[in-house]
Structure 1
């Protein structure tokens, strides 16, 4: 008498090895949940610009795995002062508001160093590079991609993943953490749900501290400052343990996003009659690259011109102009895209879910995009751990649990994360004095910006874990909250 085949182990596929995907992987590892990360690039090659992570992000790190938080603290640069400090960069060069961050709150560092510290916590065997997702097949009732009609009474198989190199993989759950140009999102809901140009772009640079001190002085180089004014703002803070100053300059841009044929981001650059720039709004859709390809990703970044920043900051105080002078002649230019115009209807479908920028790409203006991705990772690790602990049943028995878990995640995270996208747009309008009545020391600025930051920082993450499990159990039992 032959025995029945053993039930295959529960397995999670994570698409993307950025902040969200990497920390989800570490959180699953800490809980003993099997996973594999599939990354399109040939390695973790994050650029060296600075990133700051908010107090709520640090709480999420600790709850995911204390090792994440420990590695983060080793990589970041201590604050000079535990405050955000806003400067009227246009008229007075004086402080208009400061916001307390908490002890050692909102620390930052070079993104590449922080990602490298986290990557060391993952077994390399669990990560496969050079894997560009091209198709998904989910045979569960809520399948994102159709497959051939199954045999009568056939048990739904795992989700099948197809990659550009011709290989395939299988998993019980797929989490798309593949960024603003998410292929997972496109496969789930179609290309109509895509990120669009927010009409802001930024220049980023990391400069030697000696150069920074020479340009803007010791005090303004020693801690975090933000400079507000009409149509632009700038942020500076030390990184690399104080050896470098991170510089971010953000500029409003009324023009459409116009990628050129070389794949450079040229938002805000006027085209001459002989220019090769293509206006995407005037080009037939059939001639445009997919919004979810590597080509589209490259077209949002590229080399810019410092003279564009000099023009945007013309007439500002010398302090702000000194910051602009720190940019190289051809600084990296980043067109800022978000999901405000075309939000996805849900973060899950069947046994596939979206997380981080793939779900809710937002502008960087509240410093919370990465933090919200870490929160997503915590919610997913929490609920997938619950599924894994009760996954000894056959695949048929698992599927309702998986769908219920991802639905619980979606119901919990959707409204809060969609709020961030709009709030980030509102914040940059405040920084750029879009409403003239709210510029130059507008007395309501402090209350308006504090309310938005505190909504982010004071989010109860332990309660979030309890709620996602409650929603999961309620879905399994047919109860409602």
Structure 2
């Protein structure tokens, strides 16, 4: 870490989810001072399954090799060539399309396991719990004052909101009355569960659960107005199940939350008339379920990701649905860009650039915004397009898997094939360009 009393910057990270933790580890590796503020009493995540796209896996190694070490420990690489496999879940139960992912790519596990493992790497004296942000004030000297709901106050040179889809930092950047400060309902909701593998294998058979020596068995069952995803997690101990259902109605709850009570019966009704295999998947769910509304930032996108020395990243900036499996991965890309450019600020603080610390911090966030905006906004729209393909709602594709495969492939490949090394170089080039420009 940067020694006390130096002129180096100090970064405040709001939110201790995956994006915030990965970003913190990137700063820690680069010797950039930071404090991570989490509103809960500890690092917590739901135990639902998650997979990380190949672009995110490559970024782990650049951000901080320890991230990749823990990741590999938790996912237990198999050295197996893996595919996504799409099944006609409505009529035939046959695999109708396959897409090569690669060897030991898109490895999955429980969110809670990743958060626990990665958070242990963060120096404990740089984390503060039970800190829910209330307001931010830009002071006369350019520093940012952070005011928390418990009445405490801190300050930083840069504030990065990694506080998720309900981001308070986004509201403070864009304005509390701005529609872009709030996510909107996608007219999709989901049920999810982790089912013990023995139970799953008994219901579905080995071919669609534990697999053999050629596949980890990642299946999606497509059909009218719904789809179902299954894949093993926690080194094969559980089958992760996700049921995604189209919903023409507005989302309404008394407390404004994105969750509501549901039931297995509701899930089964959504798959009425589908192939028995898919109904067997739904029938493995617990009798009482949590219904998760899927919100995103498509209808009212954030027009920019920073103001002054404050920025947003991950879902706080560009929340997308889960349908391309890349929301977390794009947050990780954000963390890499931010860690890279904020390290570059410290390198400039020798007085030779002709700019003040405040100006350099704002140039860094402008470079981050310029590097990340187009790609992340594309993801939000592409994710909406993908779920329409899965639910046979695309008028040009419908249930034709011959047309489906090239459409979904080009979206996945744009995500997976992103050159993260080039992204780092372009980030530094954009920062240098802005530093050379005259102050506004």
**Is it true that 1:404 corresponds to 2:363 in the alignment?**
yes
**Is it true that 1:244 corresponds to 2:203 in the alignment?**
no
- Partner residue, 2:161: 176
Greater gyration radius: 1
TM-score (norm 2): 0.93
- Partner residue, 1:338: 296
Paired residues of 1:208 and 1:244 also in contact (CA < 8 A): yes
- Partner residue, 1:413: 372
Any runs of at least 4 consecutive aligned residues in structure 1 with deviations exceeding 6 A, and if so which? none
TM-score (norm 1): 0.85
Aligned mate of 1:317, from 275, 297, 301: 275
Paired residues of 1:215 and 1:325 also in contact (CA < 8 A): no
> 2 CA distance for matches of 1:438 and 1:137?
50
- 1:28-80 Cα offsets, whole Å, 9 max, x none, are 00001110000111111201110000100001111101110110111125567
**Is it true that 1:190 corresponds to 2:175 in the alignment?**
yes
Give the SS at the match of 2:288: coil
Give the SS at the match of 1:459: coil
Unaligned regions of 5+ residues in structure 2, if any? Answer: 211-216
Give the SS at the match of 1:56: helix
- Partner residue, 1:32: 31
- Partner residue, 1:221: 209
- 1:73-108 Cα offsets, whole Å, 9 max, x none, are 111255676000000000100011011111111110
- Partner residue, 1:53: 52
> 2 CA distance for matches of 1:396 and 1:448?
47
- Partner residue, 1:16: 15
Paired residues of 1:76 and 1:114 also in contact (CA < 8 A): no
> 2 CA distance for matches of 1:442 and 1:134?
49
Give the SS at the match of 1:28: helix
| Farther-moved stretch of structure 1 (108-117 vs 441-450) | 441-450
> 1 CA distance for matches of 2:289 and 2:13?
33
Greater share of strand = 2
Unaligned regions of 5+ residues in structure 1, if any? Answer: 1-5, 140-149, 151-155, 264-295
Aligned mate of 1:432, from 391, 404, 422: 391
What are the residue-to-residue correspondences of 1:90-129 with 2, within 5 Å? 90-129=90-129
The root-mean-square deviation of aligned C-alpha atoms, in Å, is: 1.8
| Pairwise CA distance, 1:307 | 1.3
Aligned mate of 1:459, from 418, 421, 424: 418
| Pairwise CA distance, 1:442 | 3.4
Give the SS at the match of 2:164: coil
Aligned residues: 424
Give the SS at the match of 2:343: helix
> 2 CA distance for matches of 1:370 and 1:364?
9
> 1 CA distance for matches of 2:23 and 2:69?
16
- Partner residue, 1:235: 229
- Partner residue, 1:362: 320
| Pairwise CA distance, 1:302 | 3.7
Give the SS at the match of 2:399: coil
Q: Cα 1:393–1:42, aligned 2, differ >3 Å: closer, same or farther?
A: farther
Give the SS at the match of 2:356: helix
Paired residues of 2:16 and 2:38 also in contact (CA < 8 A): yes
